[in-house]
Amino acid sequence: GEDVEQSLFLSVREGDSSVINCTYTDSSSTYLYWYKQEPGAGLQLLTYIFSNMDMKQDQRLTVLLNKKDKHLSLRIADTQTGDSAIYFCAERGGGFKTIFGAGTRLFVKA
């Protein structure tokens, strides 16, 4: 079945770039997403990329998609302490269900 995998932890220094990686198995994915979960809150969509795109940039965020390798990454430039959160990779396949990875907890050290 569909599966989304990502590493569980990432620690960076304030001001550095953060790169969170994700792999997925569903070749029929239409949209791929990055959701952010702050402590005590639900998930909120951070950004998304349509499957026919290779890259999407939105201010400090860059999403790269390699469809051949089924690899998605999220780069956060100039990482700030306010970026500390759990980041979930997710994909929407042909069944119109959204499948989530386990989430990567980003720690930002001042």
Chain residues in the site for other proteins (CB under 8 A): 1, 4, 8, 30-31, 33, 35, 40-45, 48, 88, 92, 96-103
Q: Is 22 exposed, middle or buried (0-12, 13-18, 19+ CB in 10 A)?
A: buried
| Shortest distance (Å) from residue 47 CB to other proteins | 10
| Shortest distance (Å) from residue 40 CB to other proteins | 7
Residue 62: both structure tokens together: 């860059």
| Shortest distance (Å) from residue 98 CB to other proteins | 6
| Shortest distance (Å) from residue 77 CB to other proteins | 23
Q: Which is nearer to other proteins, 14 or 70 (CB)?
A: 70
- Whether 52 contacts 32, CB under 8 Å: no
**Nearest-5° Cα angle at 87, 46 to 47:** 20
Residue 73: both structure tokens together: 């990454």
Residue 81: both structure tokens together: 């302490």
